[in-house]
Amino acid sequence: MAETIKADLGIIGAGSGGLSVAAGTAMLGRKVVLIEKGEMGGDCLNTGCVPSKALIAAAARAEEMRDAKKFGIAGVDPKIDFAAVMDHVHGVIKSIAPIDSQERFEGLGVTVIREHASFTGPREVKAGDTLIKAKHFVIATGSTPFVPPIPGLDSVPYFTNETLFENRILPDHLIIIGGGPIGIEMAQAFRRLGAKVTVIEGDKILGREDPELADIVRARLVKEGVELVESGKAEKVEKTPSGVSVTVGARTIEGSHLLVAVGRKPTVGGMNLEAAGVDYDAKGLKTDSRLRTTNKRVYAAGDVAGGRQFTHVAGYHASVLVRNILFKVPSKNNEQLAPRVTYCDPELAQVGLTEAQARERHGDIKVARWPFSQNDRAEAERDTQGLIKIITDKKGRILGAGIVGRGAGDLLQPCTLAISSKLKIRAFTDMIAPYPTRSEAAKRAAGAWYSETLFSDRTKFLVRLLSILD
């Protein structure tokens, strides 16, 4: 007979968003049921952020061995054991997995059901032989790779991020369709691990990012031997004796393996959302500013909410939902303040508006720049590629910031805090940055913002006038 569980909160999906809501709610003493048909930890742990960054880390070590000559150390061409590299990748997943495990969450008091979830009514979900009746539900089912309708693609083997990290054979020539963050990160990683790599992108690589910053990444990729085919659409895919071929205009590119990385689509199917009165479309669930769906008892978190598809946004959604559901405090989703990072080398990080977006929305703006070529720590590390850009209005209110360079994702945090706290660029001039660090770049950029005024004839006249008081 079917079991019925009554709960305060039912959560569908044990990825970043669902786990964060479950942990917070359970620790506040509420009864939580967490339903997951696949792996605990979702895409981020098993097939996304964690394995990709582990692979990138291995590739970076290989590149450092090749590039050691600039430090007076003989560079060597590393011997790559790709199977061992993948053992490292899965070892990292295994190390992190206990944090997201069923055992940990059951220890927090969460009832975990490893079954497919389907709504049977506005406040009921069936999972296997269990019926869950809850005051509120959170749908946190994430997203899956989008596979474009390219002729012939369905007749050849190809990777997506969901299958790439199960491969234990280094591709001879990896063709990547898609020049967004995933495509670019994997292109550089596989090239550094010894594969020939070709990236096919219908527009420009990293097209969402500031072109000035993306150009620096592009130059690095080309220098390392990644072939970029931009403004070229993959028109046809065919199986060949040696692997696969992709037709782009008049050119046919042949490779041993194919990775499709053109974006993701929200996971909304198979849950009988109609029975719950939850509306959705190709972009995800339809939600209001508080992440409520068209059924006010059902909320959304993470990629399925139709916004920015980042793990940290899913975690942020969880905090919004805890405030709304448990504390009854109206809390609005403001994910426009969420930063994003592409973990290539050099890293590219952005928060708020790009320069082009700021000019379009605000017209008269100011842009402060500071290159890492003028940063002593970067010089000491012989890695001076990149710069920081801080975009403000004429009064100094920060509208956005972008950084390309080593550790850009970490260096972006003060800018993220400044924007979320509505600080002006003046805050950076008041900051004392430790020397020598790359973090000095933000302070230097802020100083450059004021330099025109500080060293103007008017200021010089004021200084001369004040000298009379000596």
Contact (CB, 8 A) for 16 and 44: yes
What's the pTM?
Answer: 0.95
Give the C-alpha separation, 151 to 234, whole Å.
9
Instruction: Please give the CATH architecture assigned to the domain spanning 3-145+265-336.
Output: 3-Layer(bba) Sandwich (3.50)
Give the C-alpha separation, 463 to 466, whole Å.
5
Paired with 243 in beta bridges are 240
Instruction: Name residues whose C-beta falls within 8 Å of residue 383's C-beta, 6 or more positions apart in sequence.
Output: 346, 372, 405, 406
Q: 153-262: what CATH class? A: alpha beta
Give the C-alpha separation, 456 to 216, whole Å.
33
The pLDDT assigned to 451 comes to 78
The pLDDT assigned to 455 comes to 64
Domain locations in the chain as residue ranges: 3-145+265-336, 153-262, 346-454
CATH superfamily, with its number, for domain 346-454: FAD/NAD-linked reductase, C-terminal dimerisation domain (3.30.390.30)
Instruction: Name residues whose C-beta falls within 8 Å of residue 238's C-beta, 6 or more positions apart in sequence.
Output: 152, 155, 156, 244, 245, 247
* Same topology between domain 3-145+265-336 and domain 346-454: no
Please state whether beta strands 398-405 and 264-266 pair in parallel, antiparallel, or not at all (unpaired). unpaired
Q: What number of other Cβ atoms are within 10 A of residue 199's Cβ?
A: 26
The pLDDT assigned to 458 comes to 76
3-state SS track over the chain: CCEEEEEEEEEECCCHHHHHHHHHHHHCCCCEEEECCCCCCHHHHHCCHHHHHHHHHHHHHHHHHHCHHHHCCCCCCCCCCHHHHHHHHHHHHHHHHHHHCHHHHHHCCCEEECCCEEEEECCEEEECCEEEEEEEEEECCCEEECCCCCCCHHHCCCECHHHHCCCCCCCCEEEEECCCHHHHHHHHHHHHCCCEEEEEECCCCCCCCCHHHHHHHHHHHHHCCCEEEECCCEEEEEEECCEEEEEECCEEEEECEEEECCCEEECCCCCCHHHHCCCEECCEECCCCCCECCCCCEEECHHHHCCCCCHHHHHHHHHHHHHHHCCCCCCCCCHHHCCEEECCCCEEEEEECCHHHHHHHHCCEEEEEEEHHHCHHHHHCCCCCCEEEEEEECCCEEEEEEEEECCHHHHCHHHHHHHHCCCECHHHHHCCCCCCCCCHHHHHHHHHHHHHHHCCHHHHHHHHHHHCCC
> Mean pLDDT of residues grouped by 10 in the chain (470 residues)?
91 98 98 98 97 98 97 97 98 98 98 98 97 98 97 97 97 98 98 98 97 98 98 97 97 98 96 98 97 98 96 97 96 94 98 97 96 97 97 96 98 96 94 96 93 69 75
The pLDDT assigned to 345 comes to 98
The pLDDT assigned to 432 comes to 95
The pLDDT assigned to 1 comes to 57
Rg (CA), the chain: 25
Paired with 134 in beta bridges are 7
The pLDDT assigned to 464 comes to 76
End-to-end CA distance of the chain: 93
The pLDDT assigned to 303 comes to 98
